[in-house]
Amino acid sequence: MSILVDKNTRLVVQGVTGNEGLFHTSQMVAYGTNVVAGMTPGKGGEWVLDGKVPVFDSVKVAVEATGANTSIIFVPARFAADAIFEAADAGIGLIVCITEGIPVLDMMRARDYLDQKGCRLVGPNCPGLLTPGEAKVGIIPGNISIPGNIGVVSRSGTLTYEVLYALKLVGMGVSTCVGIGGDPVNGTNFIDCLELFEADPQTEKVVLIGEIGGTDEERAAEYIADHMTKPVVSFIAGQTAPPGKRMGHAGAIIEGGAGTAADKVKALEAAGVRVASHPEEIPGML
């Protein structure tokens, strides 16, 4: 078992003919992900990757022709919200948006709409998901993690790769890794993932990687205290971040005194979570 993506994932790639889209589609196919379709408006009827993946003009047509149940979005920021709406309208149940730089108001509208439709979004501004040995839906390097019983959820990209790699080096594997993204308004949050990991029989322990900005980690801490039976280990990036400055990710900012790493560590520790002082400590704490 695992969460969200596995052998049953049938993936459609939105923006499959762009540089990023095509490169990562080839990586996902090489990993063994079941990529059933690509989508780029105006390029329906073409094939990419030496005839391995058919391209359609719309997500709806791709779903009808291939039974795709998951989509991944690689389109530029100014068109990304539209791509999310399109996937939702085509009946896709899980939408993964890699794109960075989507305006917040666009995301708030998209989030509102998805909630009404009952679809799940992972991201945006995220590395996607990896269920080692089964499916890679995103841009997480496939060779840095092995199958196992640790669930990983993170707001970051390369920091997550660090942790996956550190786990692999000591022979520890992962059930599923979910990158929920670094934007202030996103789809799936920490609590959603904790709930899924708690219910997943394969997952025995969870690693939660947070960072400054917002109060998602604090709310996750409340959830852990009330609902989690599985142990959670955490790391929070941004102890030294100055207030009022956006640290790369749109959501990584301390505003009006709120969103500091110290507050998050305090909340997590109060919930019984062990918080590492740096990421290399994590494997030893599991």
Cβ burial, residue 278 (10 Å; 0-12/13-18/19+)? exposed
> Is 279 strand, coil or helix?
helix
Nearer to another protein by C-beta: 105 or 270? 105
Nearer to another protein by C-beta: 271 or 282? 282
d(C-alpha 266, C-alpha 270), whole Å? 6
- Helices vs. strands in the chain: H and E counts, helices first: 9, 14
Q: Which residues bind another protein (CB under 8 A)?
A: 27, 77-78, 101-109, 111-113, 139-141, 143-144, 154-162, 165, 182, 184-185, 209, 211-216, 219, 235, 237-242, 245-252, 256-257, 261, 277-280
> What is the identity of the amino acid at 265?
V
As measured in angstroms, the least distance from the Cβ of 196 to another protein is: 20
**Catalytic residue status for 227:** no
Q: Classify each residue of 175-212 as buried b or exposed e, where b means 16 or more C-beta atoms within 10 Å of its C-beta.
A: bbbbbbbbbbbbbbbbbbbbebbbebebbebbbbbbbb
Contact 212, 253 (CB under 8 A): yes
Nearer to another protein by C-beta: 228 or 261? 261
Q: Which of 24, 227, 249, 278 is catalytic?
A: 249
Nearer to another protein by C-beta: 54 or 213? 213
As measured in angstroms, the least distance from the Cβ of 45 to another protein is: 29
As measured in angstroms, the least distance from the Cβ of 233 to another protein is: 15
As measured in angstroms, the least distance from the Cβ of 57 to another protein is: 26
Catalytic residue annotation:
249
